[in-house]
Structure 1
Amino acid sequence: MSGRRVVITGIEVLAPGGVGKDHFWDLLSEGRTATRGITFFDPSPFRSQVAAEMDFDPEQHGLAPQEIRRMDRAAQFAVVAARGAVADSGIDLAAHDPHRVGVTIGSAVGATMGLDEEYRVVSDGGRLHLVDHEYAVPHLYNYFVPSSFSAEVAWTVGAEGPNTVVSTGCTSGIDSVGYAVELIREGSADVMIAGSSDAPISPITMACFDAIKATTPRREDPEQASRPFDGTRNGFVLGEGCAVFVLEELESARRRGAHVYAEIAGYATRSNAYHMTGLRPDGAEMAEAITVALDEARMNADRIDYINAHGSGTKQNDRHETAAFKKSLGEHAYRTPVSSIKSMVGHSLGAIGSIEIAASALAMEHHVVPPTANLHTPDPECDLDYVPVTAREQLTDAVLTVGSGFGGFQSAMVLARPERSMA
């Protein structure tokens, strides 16, 4: 590995409650929730009927009619967020060798909404067993291949370097950024546009999670439905969204006078090789990922000021990662504030890992730890400091953010101020 250090110089977030990183941060810091009854389709046949939907008008955000027709909703998110991240960074990509600029985009479920809608069209609302392809949108192939997401972003920013889609379930958003960091460190790219996007709020997705009872059946008061670490929780709230970053080598960013949000000081991913949806209660695999990420960052556990938890709001996950924090951080886990932003913006599957990286970087930027909304009745088996209900002002120089995904994926990333990391 080279000695290149990688930093975030541009951030854009599209999330429930407001499009743009400033709206996103306002929602988190104020402890507001963006969960509501589903409006995208009739949810009455489903056990779970709430979601964290985003009010997103692609035309309002600069997409041309042909782009809107060509791209699934999640791809639209990625393109709009990529443009915003590049603008936020102030980087002049035209001044860079395009072969040294790359793209990595994460997604768990790809073009779910587009495929769902097109099936309804070609099957005449499910009436036809033998579908009529002539009714399909001309760009239907793009919906079948998630690589179209990263291709669209590359075309948008003029990137001709490494171009990849990372799909590792609910850790896709961390893993896509982690992979981009490694490409810069090894010298394969100088700048990476990296992040993740998912728009899964569709009947097929709701049916899948209903079948395994992973999503909450709580219908009354939808804003209170997502309750990570609370003793009354009964499943997660599905969401949608996107976050994209500009990543570049630290010295290059300093030379051009860029604003640096954070250094990505450490990253690791592991698998439990155990069960498609189950988790061992001891949290060993997540703990291993955290330990390796800290080692890569050359940090002791007591340097972590805040943990951005996966915090999905399922009992097995909340207890699993609580055990992982104790196993990896030791006694320091009891002194470290932990929170789950899924309590406010829901669980957007592959996108959430990048959205949580953005929340972690902004927590460092503002020295504020976002809260775990709706946490009123703590689960006695989750006995750490989960920052209930209200945000907390706190000096924050190093943040641990983690993800856990179906298939056994466990990922961890350490963000730090460049002047404080590698010390």
Structure 2
Amino acid sequence: MERRVVVTGIGLVTPVGIGTETAWKNICAGVSGIDTITRFDAGDYAVKIAAEITDYNTEDFFEKKEARHLDLFVQYGVVASRMALKDSGFAITPDNCGRVGVITGCGMGGLPNIEKQHNALLNRGPRKISPFFIPMVIPNMASGNISIDIGSKGPNLTLTTACAAGTHAVGEAFNYVKNGTCDVVISGGTEAVICGLGVAGFSAMKALSTRNDDPKTASRPFDKDRDGFIMGEGAGMIVLEEYEHAKARGAKIYAEVIGFGLSSDAYHIAAPPEDGEGAVRAMNNALLSAGVRPEDIDYINAHGTSTSLNDRGESRAVHQVFGDHANKIAISSTKSMTGHLLGAAGGIEAAFLALSITDQIAPPTINLHEPSPECDLDYVPNKVRKMEIKVAMSNSFGFGGTNGSLIMKRM
């Protein structure tokens, strides 16, 4: 008998709030977490806005000495995982720790620390490089430190598939629980690369919005005036658990994960195919994995980055996959509020998907005032929608042409 997989815990550290209750309340209220950059002096930069986490205090979660050796992306991941595990009510013990895994997604690792240590090397010489430099910045230090923090001794993996990393991590966690490798996996994504080098790099690609004079309206997925994405930071972690295991301990269940699909565009390192062909295959593979029909999908949390190419390609892909049913699906991009958390995006959006199913609510796509002619679907503009959501999907597409789609359903 195939094992079923359910979401029993959620932890969120986001630009719209720390903690699931706060973040979800603000998402449903259409609150934007985007503002002028404070992390560094962006005065000479073309892009001066980002979705920073401004209410995070390291000392609320870590001792000073410990925090000095943990990059911010690692801290966010550890904190979100602690929240998710506490929310699940599951206790890791010496008897069960070998059946508990950690699988995280991360796009770029400790980029701000790379920038900082490189400056130290150039200005003060090699003796000024911290011995903690390498262990602080490599992407798998999030999953490694989470495992150490919570005491899990099962699989410990990190996927670095750009903006699809969080979704791929949750999808792999789903497979590990489904196939019996683990009973519980803490999974999601974490990222913290708002620094001069990161902003300058994406800006050089012309990928970021330059709506510096009005940050709150800068992220406008599917709108005709969209001009690029907004860099965000944070972490979203969920606890995936085998259903009978969760049921036996009386766990709260948010939703059941039923499908995961992935694909490659094999087209371009940064641009999707105009017809969204790779996204089409990822969504179709997820539907096949879940054993549901296209017309069973009620809601999609879109990748929806607010870039011209992505929003057009995703809209075309949805039309191809769902046919006449496409116009009946509620679709929203929570990136309109959180910005784009890169490797962490799929983690927080998987959490939002589970919460949408639990509360039977489709969050809004804010700043959508005049849809682009090539984006002609129901994007839940500007206001939260109470609706029946039995089955829902979340999409993530990353540089390198890597795609992932998750499907969850109401229990």
Q: TM-score range by the shorter chain?
A: over 0.9
Residue aligning to 1:64:
63
Residue aligning to 2:103:
104
Residue aligning to 1:299:
292
Would you say 1:37 and 2:36 are equivalent positions? yes
Amino acid in structure 1 at the alignment position of 2:393: L
Question: 1: distance between equivalents of 2:388 and 2:240?
Answer: 24
State the Cα distance separating 1:96 from its structure 2 match. 4.4
Q: Structure 1: 5+ residue runs without aligned partners?
A: 125-130, 419-423
Would you say 1:27 and 2:26 are equivalent positions? yes
Question: 1: distance between equivalents of 2:286 and 2:168?
Answer: 12
Would you say 1:333 and 2:318 are equivalent positions? no
Cα-to-partner distance string for 1:285-322 (whole Å, 9 max, x where unaligned)? 11111111111111111111111000000111001000
Would you say 1:163 and 2:162 are equivalent positions? no
Q: For 1:301-380, what aligned pairs fall within 5 Å after superposition?
A: 301-380=294-373
Cα-to-partner distance string for 1:32-78 (whole Å, 9 max, x where unaligned)? 11100111111122211110000243444321112201100000001
State the Cα distance separating 1:366 from its structure 2 match. 1.2
Would you say 1:267 and 2:260 are equivalent positions? yes
Residue aligning to 1:381:
374
Corresponding residue SS for 2:221? coil
Cα-to-partner distance string for 1:238-283 (whole Å, 9 max, x where unaligned)? 1001011111101110111001111110001100111001111111
Amino acid in structure 2 at the alignment position of 1:221: D
Question: 2: distance between equivalents of 1:160 and 1:305?
Answer: 37
Amino acid in structure 2 at the alignment position of 1:411: G
Corresponding residue SS for 2:9? strand
Residue aligning to 1:421:
none
Amino acid in structure 1 at the alignment position of 2:182: A
Q: For 1:92-131, what aligned pairs fall within 5 Å after superposition?
A: 92-94=91-93, 96-124=95-123
Q: For 1:122-141, what aligned pairs fall within 5 Å after superposition?
A: 122-124=121-123, 132-141=125-134
Amino acid in structure 1 at the alignment position of 2:52: E
Residue aligning to 2:75:
76
Does structure 2 retain, via aligned residues, the 8 Å contact 1:214–1:314?
Answer: yes
Cα-to-partner distance string for 1:128-183 (whole Å, 9 max, x where unaligned)? xxx52322333112134222211100001101111111110000000011111111
Question: 2: distance between equivalents of 1:17 and 1:393?
Answer: 21
Corresponding residue SS for 2:226? coil
Cα-to-partner distance string for 1:5-34 (whole Å, 9 max, x where unaligned)? 111100001000211111111111101111
Q: Structure 2: 5+ residue runs without aligned partners?
A: none
Given the alignment, which residue of 246, 253, 259 partners 1:253?
A: 246
Q: For 1:141-156, what aligned pairs fall within 5 Å after superposition?
A: 141-156=134-149
Would you say 1:7 and 2:6 are equivalent positions? yes
Amino acid in structure 1 at the alignment position of 2:218: A
Corresponding residue SS for 1:12? strand
State the Cα distance separating 1:376 from its structure 2 match. 0.5
Q: For residues 68 and 58 of structure 1, do their structure 2 counterparts lie closer, same or farther at Cα, with a shift above 3 Å needed? A: farther
Amino acid in structure 2 at the alignment position of 1:318: D
Residue aligning to 2:400:
407
Corresponding residue SS for 1:99? helix
Residue aligning to 1:88:
87
Question: 1: distance between equivalents of 2:163 and 2:70?
Answer: 22
**Structure 1 stretch displaced more, 92-101 or 404-413:** 92-101
Does structure 2 retain, via aligned residues, the 8 Å contact 1:217–1:235?
Answer: yes
Given the alignment, which residue of 181, 185, 196 partners 2:189?
A: 196
Question: 2: distance between equivalents of 1:318 and 1:365?
Answer: 27
Does structure 2 retain, via aligned residues, the 8 Å contact 1:403–1:412?
Answer: yes
Corresponding residue SS for 1:78? helix
Corresponding residue SS for 1:270? strand
Does structure 2 retain, via aligned residues, the 8 Å contact 1:270–1:286?
Answer: yes
Question: 2: distance between equivalents of 1:116 and 1:359?
Answer: 32
Amino acid in structure 2 at the alignment position of 1:401: S
Give the TM-score of the pair, scaled to structure 1: 0.95
Q: In the comparison of the two structures, how many residue pairs are matched?
A: 411
Does structure 1 retain, via aligned residues, the 8 Å contact 2:358–2:410?
Answer: no
Question: 1: distance between equivalents of 2:322 and 2:394?
Answer: 13
Question: 2: distance between equivalents of 1:286 and 1:180?
Answer: 21
Does structure 2 retain, via aligned residues, the 8 Å contact 1:61–1:80?
Answer: no
State the Cα distance separating 1:341 from its structure 2 match. 0.5
Corresponding residue SS for 2:316? helix
**Structure 1 stretch displaced more, 381-390 or 95-104:** 95-104
Residue aligning to 1:224:
217
